[in-house]
Amino acid sequence: MPDNLAAVQAVFFALLLCAASVFDLRRRIIPDTLNLAIAASALLCFSPVRLWGLFIALPFLLAAVLWGGIGGGDIKLMAACGLVLGLLKGLLAATAGLSLLLFYAGIYRIVCKVRGWEAVKAFPLAPFLSAGCLLAYLITMKGWVI
């Protein structure tokens, strides 16, 4: 039965992350209900050790307070994902997601410079964080050790 619960959690987690990404792309907001649903999906395969994953949101909170540019939805998204992933996989998710954002932003700015376009200054963060979270979760499902 635990394997079935893990599969159900994986499907819900992926669908909810996709929904959060679409909302962030279209409206620049991540509904609290999606973040709560992601956190609730952690109950399907709950482990008390994964509560440490809440600390994944701390760097995002500090960045928002000190420098701005990060919305509360992104912070809550990472806290909810931290409950599903745990601390170490949450760190992997955050690192992978932010690395994807940096890669995308770099390529985007180069293309804008070459084409003479004016570059957008801010990007929605949820699609990149969601990709990082899915990557970390899939690595977990495959049993790969990092």
Tell the residue number behind the tokens 């952690």, with chain if given.
Answer: 42
- Determine the longest span between alpha carbons in the chain, in angstroms: 57
CA distance 105 to 45: 35
Give the chain's end-to-end CA distance (angstroms, integer): 26
Domain boundaries, the chain: 2-142
Q: Is the pLDDT of residue 143 over 80?
A: no
Q: What is the pLDDT of residues 16-69, one digit of tens each?
A: 999 999 999 999 999 999 999 999 999 998 899 999 999 999 999 998 888 887
